Chains A and B, each alone.
Chain A
Amino acid sequence: MSKTFDKGTGIILLIISILFVLESLKISGSAYGSAIGPKTYPLILGIILGLLSLRLLYESFKSKAESKEKADFDYKKFGVIFISAILYVFLLEIIGYVLSTFLFLLIAFQVMEKGKILSTIIISAIFTFGVYFMYVSLLGGSLPKFSLF
């Protein structure tokens, strides 16, 4: 798996470096007398990255195939938590910090391990209200409020 990842990364990085070089050529040159403008540095970096990704590709094609180890991945658990994290960010400024955080923690706790509904509710509530109270009431910061209506 590692070898295919390296090949993929090598190709993607090569494309990125080419794009970077092309894009930095488009940046307008020096604004004043200096010989070195804003484009020189990214241009050099782009070229170095290109060379390194070629080297990575060379290495990944040369190296022998590794023995594959079959790891046990928990895609389902991860997927649910990741998607609820995205939803959390999306809803944060709509339904407010308190509600979105509470819901996210509740879902994530239950996904990690089912059961013990009461204790997960209590811990989510303590964390959410604790942070909100400390930050907003004690330190005078502001967090998004419920703003649906």
Chain B
Amino acid sequence: MGTIQFLMDGFATALQWHNILFALVGVIIGTAVGVLPGIGPMSGVALLIPVTATLTSGMPTESAAASSIILLAGVYYGAMYGGSTTSILLNTPGESSSVVTALDGYQMAQQGRAGAALSIAAIGSFVAGIISLIGLVLLAEPLSNIALEFGPAEYFSLMLLGLCAVSGLAGKSMTKALIMTVLGLLLGTIGIDAVSGIARFTYDIPVLYGGLEFLTIAVGLFALGEVFKTILEKETEDGSIAKISRVLPTKKDLKDSAKPIARGSLLGFFIGVLPGAGATLASFFSYITEKKFSKNPDSFGKGNIAGVAGPESANNAASGGAMIPLLTLGIPGSGTTAILMGALIMYNVQPGPLLFDDHPEIAWGLIASMFFGNLILLILNMPLVKVFAKIIQTPKKYLLPIIIAISFFGVYAVQYSTFDLYLILACGIFGYLFTKNDYPVAPLVLALVLGPMIENNMRRALTISNGEWSIFVTSPLSLVFLIIALAWILIPLILKLTGKKVIVNEEE
């Protein structure tokens, strides 16, 4: 069967009525998550994993996994659309990848062109979403065929590369990012060793035998950490919301933003494919590029529509691009994709090259649903943007306690233990303290998901080579991965030493 045939089957899965519903719910919640400052895509997806697990509990495993990943991915790219709304209307970005959108978007709103800015952001996001999906369809087969040739040594090095890339770009201090990565890996060793069956670091405490549940840690660190931060730190009330008069962009707006959208989409897609570099970096780069290409760069920051169109397309394309390493190689390149991967693993579905052969329903169903979801988002964001803008006014008084209650319910419904509830409370405190002191938490979650796989591949490789560590450098592919991994860590260090400014990717 060719790619087209698979894609058609994917549409057959995605267009089942319950999956349409799941995609719809996913993108609506995603848009809300993007609009609400304080909940980013990562905590949004983490919070919804238990909820989807509950919703799909009656279905057979395969379709349950397909449905919930459709919903969760919808939250992810939906948040990319929603994030622009608050940037433009309030000058407060709902998530970090919309920070640059605020530069020109808010200015446009001040000039009474809020509607044009919002609709260009939505159109740009839509075009970018479709372009990155076409890229995903084209690259999925060849990439997973390459990945099928990988042995344990190659996998080990590739995962190491993923971790290094994320730590190399995350946060202000690389030492801190690396510490968080290693901490995540260490936490991943708690429990019964999968190869030998020996209990490690459990100290005869029964709840620890199964290891620490990734879901508990992720919900605690992201969702509760964020809630605690908002409760602790009194924030000054936001300014007034700009009025939206005319939703449709003018012909001139469309003409001015066509090229930035195309450039932003391509740039964002390739940045998204790279591990470690996520939507934030993509939107940032796109803004710089647009400024360079522009005939009058001085107009940027004063309400130039290209400064909205480019970055908004780029961050959406990046979120599509980030699905590629996740689906084809089984290596998440960012915090949010790590959480999506954790969700798949919960359903006993291993992302990676075999995903397309073993579970075509999930892989292609997801891709097809993303075409469909982007279309829904375009419809949602153009006429309904005024409704979503209202969500910003949800009083924190009700929002925060309800987030706590949803996290508790979700984790308890999946784990059935109060130990996990105490654990999320503790993780919430740690999440707050870590983020406050510039320790990025995304690498920790990524490492927690990848840790057991890294160890298994390392031990399998070493068993093949009779304990010779040289296997990792004698295999050419593995050597290449290791060199790139090293470069991700060393190049920013060298740049810092020579006094250059290093762009970091701060994904919430």
B contact residues around A75 at 8 Å (CB): 232
Chain B residues touching A, majority SS: helix
Known: A36-B459, A36-B462. A27 touches B198 (CB 8 A): yes
A85/B467 contact (C-beta < 8 A), A6-B437, A49-B179, A49-B186 known:
no
Query: A123 interface residue, CB < 8 Å from B?
Result: yes
Q: Are B412 and A92 in contact (CB under 8 A)?
A: yes
Greatest chain B CB density within 10 A among A13, A30, A41 is at A41
Known: A13-B179, A42-B186, A127-B405. A141 touches B455 (CB 8 A): no
Contact A77 B231 (CB under 8 A): yes
Q: Classify chain B's interface size.
A: 35 or more
Map CB proximity to A onto B432-469 as digits: 1 under 8 Å, 0 otherwise: 01000111000000000000000100110011001100
Most chain B CB atoms below 10 A, which of A38, A53, A101:
A38
> Using a CB-CB cutoff of 8 Å, which residues 178-220 of chain B contact chain A?
178-179, 182-183, 185-186, 189, 193, 195-198, 200-201
Given A42-B189, A86-B425, A112-B401, A36 and B182 contact (CB-CB distance below 8 Å)? no
| Chain A residue nearest to B180 in the complex (CB) | A52
Within 8 A of B (CB), among A92-141: 92-93, 97, 101, 104-105, 108-109, 112-113, 123, 127, 131, 135, 139-141
B494 proximal to A (CB < 8 A): no
Best-surrounded residue of B182, B200, B400, B412 (most CB of chain A within 10 A): B182
Q: State the Cβ distance, B243 to closest chain A Cβ, in Å.
A: 28
Contact among A9, A42, A45, A88 for B408, CB-based, below 8 A: A88
Does B293 reach chain A (CB closer than 8 Å)? no
Do B179 and A45 touch (CB < 8 A)?
Answer: no
A7 to B249, CA, bound (A): 53
A48 to B167 CA separation, bound complex (whole angstroms): 14
State whether A42 touches B182 (Cβ < 8 A): no
Cβ-based interface call for B413 (8 A): yes
Q: Report yes or no: A38 in contact with B196, Cβ–Cβ below 8 A.
A: yes
Contact (A74, B401) CB under 8 Å given A35-B462, A38-B196: no
- Is A71 engaged at the interface, CB distance under 8 Å to the other chain? yes
Instruction: Give the chain B neighbours of A13 by CB distance below 8 A.
Output: 179, 183
In the bound complex, residues from chain B placing their C-beta under 8 Å from that of A15 are none
Decide if A73 touches B233 in the complex (CB within 8 Å): yes
Q: Fill in one digit per residue for A15-54: 1 if any B CB lies within 8 Å of its CB, else 0.
A: 0000010011001101110111111111001101100110
Q: Pick the contact of B189: A30, A41, A56, A143 (CB < 8 A).
A: A41
* Alpha-carbon distance between A88 and B409 when the two chains are bound, in angstroms: 11
| A38-B196, A45-B185 known; A92 vs B418 contact (CB < 8 Å) | yes
Say yes or no for B386: interface residue by CB 8 A criterion.
no
From the candidates A6, A97, A101, A109, name the one contacting B397 in the complex (CB within 8 A): A109
Which residues on B sit within 8 Å (CB–CB) of A65? none
Report if B173 contacts A (CB, 8 A).
Answer: yes
Question: Which of B185, B401, B437, B458 has most A Cβ within 10 Å?
Answer: B401
- Least Cβ distance of A39 to chain B in Å? 8
With a cutoff of 8 Å between Cβ atoms, the chain B residues found around residue A27 in the complex are: 198, 200
**How many angstroms from the CA of A77 to the CA of B231 in the assembled complex?**
7
Q: Is the CB of A89 within 8 A of B462?
A: no
Check A55–B175 contact: CB distance below 8 A: yes
* CB < 8 Å neighbour of A49 from B183, B197, B433, B455: B183
Q: Nearest Cβ distance between residue B372 and chain A, in whole angstroms?
A: 25
B396 within 8 Å of A (CB atoms) = yes
Once bound together, how far apart are the Cα atoms of A141 and B396, in whole Å?
30
Q: Which chain B residues border A71 with CB–CB below 8 Å?
A: 233
Query: Complex Cα distance A113/B401, Å?
Result: 12
Question: At the interface, yes or no: A82 with Cβ under 8 Å from chain B?
Answer: yes
Given A52-B178, A105-B401, check contact A139 B55 (CB 8 Å): yes
Chain B residues near A105 (CB, 8 Å)? Answer: 401-402, 405
- Asked if A78 CB lies within 8 Å of chain B CBs, one says yes
Q: Other than the known A42-B186, A92-B412, what 9 A-B pairs have Cβ atoms closer than 8 Å?
A: A56-B176, A56-B179, A81-B404, A82-B228, A82-B425, A85-B408, A101-B408, A108-B400, A112-B398
Q: Can you identify 29 A-B contacts, CB atoms within 8 angstroms?
A: A20-B186, A24-B200, A27-B198, A32-B196, A34-B459, A34-B462, A36-B458, A38-B196, A39-B200, A42-B186, A42-B189, A42-B200, A45-B186, A49-B182, A53-B179, A72-B234, A78-B228, A78-B232, A81-B404, A82-B425, A85-B404, A86-B422, A88-B408, A89-B408, A89-B425, A93-B418, A105-B402, A109-B397, A141-B54
Report, nearest first, the 10 A-B pairs whose CB atoms are least far apart.
A35-B467, A108-B401, A112-B397, A38-B193, A89-B421, A113-B397, A31-B196, A36-B462, A41-B455, A49-B182
